[in-house]
Amino acid sequence: MNTRPPFMLEESTVNSMEMAWIDSLYSSHLKQQAACSAVGDSYSGWTEAKIPLTMFEKGGDDCVENILPARGLRVPTSLISSWWPKVAKTKIEPVVTSINLSELGASNCVSLKTIESCHDTRIALHLKHFFDGNLTSAVRARGESGMGPDHTWLDVGSLQEVQEALSNWQVISFLLFPLNFTPILVWRTLVRYRWCSMVPILSDRIKIINR
């Protein structure tokens, strides 16, 4: 009994099955076990191997030509609370506005001022700062108080513009802070609470998402 797959442990279940089905299911189980032993990781769906400690040779990474293999590591699988404080930064230096947005479909969608402000997570930005209709809007210089773009920018005015702004924000956040889950969590929150269908008036939808 101990060698049977989980779905064949109950005698009543096995007795209710035709012999042809039992042979077929058990044969599939044996093949899956063989694949698990051969691969030795989670591909078979039954077991997961422990993630090994990976060591890298000392080297430099300039984000342009010299790229370390460590960039290819997966996101930590432990709870966010256990690793986020170790990697979170409030500001990235130096500020680089020439990040490649074209390969992710966000080329010419946000202003350089917005990209600059995104380097500092202490600056509170709004959807309007990621709306491509504000590319040429006037902005004022950021002071020591952490002020971001001014409030004279055009607000998003349609669901399409809201989606575009959220998409642009997600692209920039991914390129600057790849371990920051905030854009993904915002998307999941909007989907979870069906924000489009639950708010009947378009203007109210825009107000809610801009908060």
Question: What three-state secondary structure class fits 36?
Answer: helix
Q: How many CA atoms lie within 13 A of 5 on its CB side?
A: 16
Rounded-to-integer distance, Cα 14 and Cα 116, Å: 65
pLDDT at residue 56, rounded to an integer: 85
pLDDT at residue 168, rounded to an integer: 92
pLDDT at residue 59, rounded to an integer: 87
- Number of residues that make up the chain: 211
pLDDT at residue 198, rounded to an integer: 57
What would you measure as the largest C-alpha separation in the chain, in angstroms? Answer: 78
Rounded-to-integer distance, Cα 45 and Cα 29, Å: 12
Cα dist from 61 to 84, 107, 112, 142, 192, whole Å: 22, 25, 24, 29, 39
Q: Output the tens digit of pLDDT for each of the chain's 211 residues.
A: 566 677 677 778 778 878 887 788 778 777 777 766 655 444 445 566 778 888 888 889 888 888 888 888 888 888 888 888 877 777 888 998 888 888 888 888 888 888 999 999 888 888 888 888 776 544 443 333 333 445 567 778 777 888 888 999 999 999 999 888 888 888 888 888 777 665 555 555 555 555 5
pLDDT at residue 137, rounded to an integer: 47
pLDDT at residue 142, rounded to an integer: 35
Residue ranges of domains in the chain: 6-44, 82-210
Contact 159, 196 (CB under 8 A): yes
